[in-house]
Amino acid sequence: MSTPAAQSAQANARMPTWFIPHGGGPCFFMEWNPPQAWNRMADFLKSLAATLPRTPKAIVMVSAHWQTPKLTVTSGAQPDLIYDYYGFPPHTYDIKYPAPGAPELAALIANTLAGAGIASAQDAQRGFDHGMFIPLKLIFPHAHIPVVQLSLHESLDPEKHLATGQALQALRDQDVLIIGSGMSFHNMGAYGNPQYGPVSDAFDDWLTKAVETNPQERRRLLVNWEQAPGARQCHPPRAEEHLIPLMTVAGAAGDDAGRKVFSDRVMETTLSAFVFA
């Protein structure tokens, strides 16, 4: 049983930041071969909400599936869903996740980024892509928390994304949960190939050590992630968009510690999740 002091500390804790794997397309909502491939990841995502100090007032989702010439935030009141996956069963295009948008939060994000010298834009027409609604349907199935999506900059520059997260760090004190949605390994030509198992392990070990070291060294290592063992085999050139959301949430972590909270072997590769708190 936790003490009153521990309960008070938990109640006053700022929101963490998360880097989560969002799986392969709508994988959690369809049959797969092998059938159990995504079960542990689905169970992990379903368990995440219970780890929070309280229910977030809003979510900022940085998805690997949205890249823009200028950082852009969704500002519509009720964005549609974008079914940006292809060749999956018909029922997966009927998945619903009617989370509201948060226009005031979108404006605050744009103003905050401007104050940090980071150019951005708002888009009231853009919907929520599957990097948002697939994992959130497991984490917060009632779709009751307002969400805005923040794009990646098309440069995929890790330093730029660390700085973006750093600029938004204070949102956590307003009970805004910042989530990076991607994959710690994402080489479409390598999934299912057992030769990539050891490569993904080496990169995952490096990434875990980078996340879990002190914040100053963490930043240096993440900026130079291409120097990690097997980095470009795990994230091919100009295809590292599934790793870059980690940079934004690591930037938003500030001086908070990072740690690996999940890892699994899926399609012969190691996939992990990290939390900063």
pLDDT confidence of residue 10 = 60
pLDDT confidence of residue 12 = 75
Residue 92, phi then psi, degrees to nearest 5: -75, -10
12-46 pLDDT tens trace = 799 999 999 999 999 999 999 999 999 999 999 99
Which sign does the torsion angle of CA 183, 186, 190, 191 carry?
A: positive
Domain 16-276, CATH: 3.40.830.10
Type of residue found at 236: P
3-state helix, strand, coil in the chain (%, to 5): 40, 20, 40
Burial zone of 215 (CB within 10 Å; 0-12 exposed, 13-18 middle, 19+ buried): middle
pLDDT confidence of residue 26 = 98
CA distances from 14 to 19, 104, 246 (A): 17, 21, 19
Burial zone of 195 (CB within 10 Å; 0-12 exposed, 13-18 middle, 19+ buried): exposed
d(CA 218, CA 140): 30
pLDDT confidence of residue 5 = 45
Which sign does the torsion angle of CA 114, 118, 124, 128 carry?
A: negative
Type of residue found at 188: M
- Taking the model in full, what pTM does it have? 0.96
* Residue segments in the chain with a per-residue pLDDT below the cut of 50: 4-6, 8
pLDDT confidence of residue 231 = 98
Residues 42-61: b if buried by 16+ CB within 10 A, e if exposed: bebbeebbeebeeebebbbb
